[in-house]
Amino acid sequence: METIELHGQPVSYHRVGEGPLLVLVHGITSSSTTWERVIPLLAERHTVIAPDLLGHGRSAKPRGDYSLGAYASGLRDLLVALAEPPATVVGHSLGGGIAMQLAYQFPERVERLALVGSGGLGTEVHLMLRAATVPGAEYVVPLLLRRELRGAVGGLAAGLRRLGWHPSPDLEGMASGLASLGDDDARRAFVHTARSIMDFSGQRVSAEDRLYLAEGLPTLIVWGARDPMIPVAHGRRAHDSMPRSRLEVFEDAGHFPFNDDPVRFARVLSRFVAETDPARLGERDMRELLLRRRAA
């Protein structure tokens, strides 16, 4: 891990490999370590940057703005501070919403977009995440995530591994998410993030009415057919709304397809980068798309 200070806050990130730049953006309660199985495969052909978002992992967890717009601005600031060129931005779950927001706010920073089990493409989302948005959740979450419970979950997973049974990537991701909420700052950041994009009825921040803006942006959509967190139907609808997008459904995967089958994921993503020309979008391009839509 490397760390850089931005706006007075430490931001940690992995940087490895050489070649066209990939930026991997993790989901809520995750961190850059969620990509650890696939990073070595991607780094064979690419420069890979995987940050810990604010409120997650080893990065700072300040009292502040945890909206998609703030996350996108923070990601832009990190790439500018590191003097990195425009990138293929890969977003998982919450990270997919952040990746789309980055492309919307700063189109000159994004050459391609890859959305993996992405948020922001429909209403439905798992009850566990919606529950974090109810009034008083900030007081209940600590009780539900007592050290004893986190230790029991971790101990159960370790015991099952010793018996030769390996938990699914979804179960591992859930256990890792629970473990990440072990301190007050992390739990507060989790609740603030959840409330910025959801209420108890589901996701309330959606990019569906702006997907037409991705017309000139090569887009890959990857989903697990067995995703229990965000249904694969969201990915299929987004693909239909983005005529030039590619859709890859991993039939035996859940919410973490890059961990269910890292070799296939790396192959699909690398092929997508190799076979598409990078977008060069600016304000003039955005204006043409916006006016064309208004005229229609």
Active site residue ranges: 93, 227, 255
Instruction: Return all residues near 44 (Cβ < 8 A) that are at least 6 apart.
Output: 17
**Straight-line distance from the first to the last Cα atom of the chain, in angstroms, rounded to the nearest whole number:** 48
Query: 266, 38 in Cβ contact below 8 A?
Result: yes
Rounded CA gap, 149 and 175, in Å? 10
Q: How far is CA 100 from CA 7, 77, 119, 236, 294, in A?
A: 23, 16, 10, 16, 21
Query: 280, 95 in Cβ contact below 8 A?
Result: no
Two tokens, residue 122: 């429909």
Two tokens, residue 69: 């717009």
Q: Which amino acid is at 123?
A: T
Q: Which residue has the tokens 């990073």?
A: 39
Helix axes 94-105, 184-197, angle to 10 degrees: 60
Q: Which residue has the tokens 């005229």?
A: 295
Four-point Cα dihedral 87, 92, 97, 99, nearest 10: 0
